[in-house]
Amino acid sequence: MITLEKVRQRAESDAKTNGCYLNPDQDFLKDLFKGLKRNEERYGYPSCPCRLASGRFELDRDILCPCDYRDPDVAEYGCCYCALYVRKDVFEGKTAIQPIPERRPAEKQERAYGIGLESPLEKTPETAAVVAKESSQIERKMWYCKQCGYVCFREDPPYICPICKAKREMFARLEV
């Protein structure tokens, strides 16, 4: 069983490791932790509380907290999409928190819809295309960071290299 305390510790430790901070508004933060706990209980993994999850791990892989979009969002806007993680100046109250635009591509957002619909008649062509893309069909590739050599196996390269902080442009396909 996952506890709120465990969720908090995980976030605190991740913020420390990655040079960001947790939202200083304790009530707001607690609501986000509750959302993460709830998602972990119902899906088996802590997907973003502010985004609709499909409930299928591979389809939600990019929105597991901390999501793929956190680092570029904290750098550009001062907070992640949920505003769970914030930048130093925001933590110190020098910059106000505002809702930020969604960086997750629309085609990935669509993955949370229409998965369980059985009759093809109920599906629009767009939904049908999304549903056809079941978890197993998400194509993962090898990517490497040209700057530090970090290698990962996933759908897209990270926005920021977790090791050397190089930008996405520094990633290239690794053919094996």
Q: Which backbone phi and psi does 122 adopt, to 5 degrees?
A: -80, -10
DSSP 26-42: HHHHHHHHHHHHHHHHH
Is 38 an interacting residue with respect to other proteins (CB under 8 A)? yes
- Please identify, using beta-carbon distances, which residue of 52 and 163 lies nearer to other proteins: 52
Helix (H, G, I), strand (E, B) or coil at 132: helix
Task: Dump strand ranges (E) for the chain.
Answer: 21-22, 85-86, 141-145, 151-154, 171-173
CA–CA separation, 34 vs 54, rounded Å? 19
Interacting residues with other proteins between 49 and 68 (CB under 8 A) = 49-53
Q: Quick one: which segment of 67-75, 101-109, 137-145, 163-171 binds other proteins (CB under 8 A)?
A: 101-109
- Please identify, using beta-carbon distances, which residue of 38 and 140 lies nearer to other proteins: 38
Prior bond to 66 cis, omega within 30? yes
Is the CA virtual torsion 156, 157, 158, 160 positive or negative?
Answer: negative
Q: Quick one: which segment of 67-75, 121-129, 132-140, 150-158 binds other proteins (CB under 8 A)?
A: 121-129
CA–CA separation, 135 vs 169, rounded Å? 26
Q: How many CA within 13 A on the CB side of residue 164?
A: 13
Q: Quick one: which segment of 4-12, 105-113, 141-149, 152-160 binds other proteins (CB under 8 A)?
A: 105-113
Q: Which backbone phi and psi does 86 adopt, to 5 degrees?
A: -135, 165
Is 45 an interacting residue with respect to other proteins (CB under 8 A)? no
Binding test (CB under 8 A) with other proteins, winner from 96, 106, 132, 176: 106
Binding test (CB under 8 A) with other proteins, winner from 16, 124, 129, 146: 124
Is 135 an interacting residue with respect to other proteins (CB under 8 A)? no
Size of the site for other proteins (CB under 8 A): 30
- Please identify, using beta-carbon distances, which residue of 12 and 122 lies nearer to other proteins: 122
Residues that bind other proteins (CB under 8 A): 28, 31-32, 34-36, 38-39, 49-53, 82-83, 99, 102, 106, 109-110, 112-117, 122-124, 127
